[in-house]
Amino acid sequence: MTAGRNGGAVGDALVTLRGVRKSYNAGRPTEAEVLHGIDLDLKRGEFVALIGPSGSGKSTLLNLLGLLERPSAGTYTLAGTAVQDLDDDGLTRMRRETLGFVFQFHHLLPAFSALENVTLPVLARDGHVSPAMRERGRGLLASVGLAAAVDRKPSELSGGMQQRVAIARSLVLQPALVLADEPTGNLDTASSDEVFRLLRHTHAQEGVSFLIVTHDPRLAARCDRVLEIVDGSMASDTLNEAAARPMVAR
């Protein structure tokens, strides 16, 4: 087996949820349970879509997977660590060391260059950016087709280019899993297809697992596996064998 990020091998368990529930306003008359006993397994090296109607619980599930919220009940194991046993500092370290994030809006800092934006997670972690990490940032920008844009500010880049910078940023600390929340939702069709092809390329090159929340059925159909959540419960889990074959030009 090929070695995966953060230890383990491609195909090993990366995410395991068992009976995960999430309620808000617990113990109050307004208490509402949003997730109802979610069971989920993600393996290292998977490229997975998460779909479902608005209000189905997708964002809540993504927040739990991203260690931004804690489940109300159930267990979550991430890269062999029982998340529910971690304190807030432990969650912050786990999030920084194991996860990358791409959002619908790129959230680049306008005063920073593309390279400075990519290496921002390094600065937050270490307090400085070493020459080696700066070189990794340059390499990532080159891998997303932006070798000539390292010194350009976000305002000098198109929407699709800005999202490519955000993708490079999500990879700079070599995460095991990238969580992408509607990463093409703010782009036109051509830019959306370009960014999705880049995500697939990055998945193949970096060996990183991806979980992509999308409303676009075209993109979901091009993922290796499609999870559907409806009314806070996992409604289906479908392996897309055609998409999972070695990439030809997607």
Distances (CA, A) of 216 to 3, 53, 140, 188, 240: 32, 11, 26, 12, 16
**Angle in degrees, CA 99, 100, 101, rounded to 5:** 125
Around 178, how many Cα atoms within 13 Å sit in the side-chain half-sphere? 26
Strand duo 73-78 + 47-51: pairing: unpaired
Phi, psi angle pair for 62, to nearest 5°: -65, -40
What is the rounded CA–CA span in Å between residue 14 and residue 42? 6
> What pTM value is reported for the model?
0.84
Residue 143's pLDDT is 81
Dihedral, CA of residue 127, residue 140, residue 9 and residue 213, to nearest 10: 90
Residue 191's pLDDT is 75
Is residue 231 left, alpha or beta, with left meaning phi > 0 and alpha meaning psi from -120 to 50?
A: left
Residue 217's pLDDT is 85
Which CATH homologous superfamily contains domain 46-70+99-244? P-loop containing nucleotide triphosphate hydrolases (3.40.50.300)
Question: In order along the chain (250 residues), what is the average pLDDT of each group of 10 residues?
Answer: 52 90 83 90 93 88 93 93 91 91 83 95 91 93 89 91 88 90 78 81 84 87 92 89 49
Q: Are 172 and 102 in contact (CB under 8 A)?
A: no
